[in-house]
Amino acid sequence: MLGNLDSQDRLRLMKFVCSFAWADLRIADQERSFVQKMMRKLKLDDAEAKQVQQWLELPPRADEVDPNDIPREHRALFLEMAKSIVGADGEISEEERENLALLEQLLS
């Protein structure tokens, strides 16, 4: 599935993953580790990896993370990755739960 993403969709996915990691206003070590594993799986180039690292330091702006921009064929993958990142630290906050529910509703 991940191999079907072009460069733009890889970055879009990582932007969503990072925004969900920030949902509780902090990045846990487990979430950071999850993002780094995703970066390796996606084989991001140096510029893409640098951008993702910036999102780990400062979250993407809300207006840059629009579920309507997710291509229909990748929506299930984006939702799966959002669920994975919020569960990466073993805790799902109320904010994370709400954000996941909203994303699921918008993507269905």
3-state secondary structure of 51: helix
Per the listing, tokens 């984006």 go with 78
pLDDT band at 3 (very low <50, low <70, confident <90, very high): confident
Nearest CA among 90, 94, 95 for reference residue 30: 90
On the 0-12 / 13-18 / 19+ scale of CB atoms within 10 A, 80 is: exposed
pLDDT score, position 4 = 80
Q: Give the number of C-alpha atoms closer than 13 A to the C-alpha of residue 65, restricted to the C-beta side.
A: 21
* Mean pLDDT across 91-100: 89
Tens of pLDDT, residues 22-68: 988 889 999 999 999 999 999 999 999 999 999 999 999 989 999 99
What CATH number should be reported for the domain whose range is 2-107? 1.10.3680
* pTM of the complete model: 0.90
Q: Other C-beta atoms within 10 Å of 9: how many? A: 19
Name the residue ranges covered by the structural domains of the chain.
Answer: 2-107
